[in-house]
């Protein structure tokens, strides 16, 4: 009890000498960037919801006694975790004692972000929200691993090419129902643990006696019935921002309708804010612009029905090329659609299209080594720039309500 009091006192003293206005990170100067547009625009109820988020954020800083859980959902720009990883690094390093935790890790068999390392035994297979079937076995992570073999393992190290080093003493595994004598356990770890099964919310939670950084998960089955793993959540008592990211290469707004368990997982994890970055794939081909607004509106409203009181931020995509031939003529329209959806669903909005340079930005980004030759995806440096811009926009909005 005494050590906890001393810790809270330490955080409080830090806050007294802490100038929040120093937080926005410096941005490398490119003439085509429009940093004056790097600000959140609030529509309808979103401002009050964000104000509540900012107040809780301030309490986290003052007392060091809570986590702020953010989810960033999207497509390939999010899957690689370069963009979101930069935001996470900034939030988890701005103040001593507020590192937060790793949070969500997706069970990718291939193309996993390099910020963690995950390996499966040979019996596992994969599906995701672009798959034509199995929607009842897909959830918030957008991808699931499954197996019919009797003995199976998954190894996860939460620290790979990671600027922030994590440990954890709690692990949730979201999965399909275990039958009969089927068993899910941790193997070859140096600490004792307690296992709690939450069948109602569809996960098994492991409470560890000490902190570790990697884990081996063993699934033992008595029949060849298919077993699905939907996702992992790594946690501890660390105060700070837990910046979660889930994205699938090629995903559009309607792809997330294929994940039947998405909303129950959202409810279970109880986020404080949700950020959505979609639109590149929705309007890549001609005609997609005709359904994008309807699909994004439906997705946002479905999320709001599950978590009605938390702020949702919609971010427009950067301009891109069409099949490496020319600027996609629907890029600007995509931005307008995202703004329209934010207006009619009471969301916050960030005009990343304009911030990153607007019309003609893709050529300028490419010439400055910020965009890859496909003129759709950014380079690592480009995603880190975009992550810094998003972080600054969020910080400036938080500061507004302090």
Q: pLDDT of 227-273, one tens digit each? A: 999 999 999 989 999 999 999 999 999 999 999 999 999 999 999 99
> Both tokens of residue 267?
């409810």
E-strand spans in 278-355? 312-315, 321-322, 326-327, 348-350
Host H or E run for residue 216:
strand 214-220
Q: Looking at residue 189, what DSSP letter applies?
A: -
Whether the predicted pLDDT of 1 surpasses 70: no
Q: Tell me the pLDDT of the chain averaged across its residues.
A: 93
Averaged pLDDT, 359-385: 97
Q: Looking at residue 316, what DSSP letter applies?
A: P
pLDDT in tens, 337-352: 999 999 999 999 999 9
Whether the predicted pLDDT of 282 surpasses 60: yes
pLDDT in tens, 298-329: 999 999 999 999 999 999 999 999 999 999 99
What pLDDT, on the 0 to 100 scale, is given for residue 4?
44
What is the residue-wise DSSP string for 228-272? EEEEEEEE-S--EEEEEEEE-TT--GGGGGG-TTHHHHHHHHT-S
Check: CB of residue 292 under 8 Å from CB of residue 253: yes
Averaged pLDDT, 18-30: 74
> Predicted confidence band at 162 (pLDDT cuts at 50, 70, 90)?
confident
Longest dimension (CA), the chain: 65
What pLDDT, on the 0 to 100 scale, is given for residue 237?
81
Distance CA 333, CA 286 (A): 12
Distance CA 366, CA 372 (A): 6
What pLDDT, on the 0 to 100 scale, is given for residue 2?
42
- Chain position carrying tokens 């301009």: 319
What pLDDT, on the 0 to 100 scale, is given for residue 292?
98
The residue count of the chain comes to 402
Residues with Cβ < 8 Å from 52, sequence gap 6 or more? 309, 311
Distance CA 229, CA 126 (A): 10
What pLDDT, on the 0 to 100 scale, is given for residue 7?
47
> Predicted confidence band at 376 (pLDDT cuts at 50, 70, 90)?
very high
pLDDT in tens, 107-142: 999 999 999 999 999 999 999 999 988 889 999 999
Neighbours of 183 (CB within 10 A): 12
What pLDDT, on the 0 to 100 scale, is given for residue 8?
47
> Both tokens of residue 75?
């497509």
What pLDDT, on the 0 to 100 scale, is given for residue 379?
98
Classify residue 19 as exposed, middle or buried by CB count within 10 Å of its CB (0-12, 13-18, 19+).
Answer: exposed
What pLDDT, on the 0 to 100 scale, is given for residue 304?
97
Whether the predicted pLDDT of 5 surpasses 80: no
Q: Would you say the C-alpha torsion 306, 184, 104, 122 has a positive or negative sign?
A: negative
Q: Looking at residue 42, what DSSP letter applies?
A: E
């Amino acid at each position: 009890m005494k050590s906890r009091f001393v810790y809270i006192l330490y955080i409080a003293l830090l806050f007294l000498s802490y100038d929040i206005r120093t937080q926005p990170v410096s941005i490398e100067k490119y003439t085509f960037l429009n940093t004056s547009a790097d600000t959140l625009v609030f529509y309808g109820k979103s401002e009050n919801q964000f104000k509540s988020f900012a107040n809780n954020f301030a309490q986290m800083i003052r007392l060091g006694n809570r986590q702020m859980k953010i989810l960033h959902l999207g497509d390939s720009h999010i899957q690689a975790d370069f963009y979101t990883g930069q935001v996470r690094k900034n939030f988890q390093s701005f103040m001593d004692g507020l590192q937060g935790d790793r949070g969500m890790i997706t069970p990718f068999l291939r193309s996993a972000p390099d910020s963690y390392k995950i390996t499966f035994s040979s019996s596992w297979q994969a599906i995701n929200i672009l798959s034509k079937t199995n929607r009842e076995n897909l959830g918030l992570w957008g991808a699931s691993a499954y197996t019919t073999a009797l003995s199976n393992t998954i190894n996860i190290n939460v620290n790979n090419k990671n600027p922030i080093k994590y440990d954890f003493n709690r692990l949730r595994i979201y999965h399909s129902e275990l039958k009969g004598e089927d068993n899910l356990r941790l193997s070859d770890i140096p600490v004792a643990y307690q296992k709690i099964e939450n069948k109602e919310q569809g996960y098994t939670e492991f409470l560890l006696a000490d902190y570790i950084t990697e884990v081996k998960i063993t699934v033992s089955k008595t029949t060849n019935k298919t077993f699905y793993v939907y996702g992992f959540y790594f946690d501890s008592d660390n105060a700070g921002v837990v910046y979660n990211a889930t994205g699938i290469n090629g995903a559009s707004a309607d792809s997330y309708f294929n994940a039947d368990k998405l909303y129950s997982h959202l409810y279970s994890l109880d986020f404080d804010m949700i950020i959505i970055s979609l639109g590149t794939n929705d309007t890549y081909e001609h005609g997609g612009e005709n359904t994008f607004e309807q699909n994004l509106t439906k997705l946002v409203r479905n999320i709001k029905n599950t978590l009605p009181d938390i702020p949702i931020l919609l971010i427009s995509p950067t301009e891109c090329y069409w099949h490496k031939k020319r600027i996609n003529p629907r890029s600007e329209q995509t931005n307008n659609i995202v703004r329209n959806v934010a207006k009619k669903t009471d969301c916050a909005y960030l005009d990343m299209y304009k911030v990153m340079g607007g019309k003609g930005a893709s050529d300028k980004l490419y010439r400055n080594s910020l965009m890859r030759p496909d003129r759709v995806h950014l380079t690592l440096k480009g995603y880190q720039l975009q992550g810094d811009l998003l972080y600054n926009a969020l910080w400036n909005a938080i500061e507004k309500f302090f």
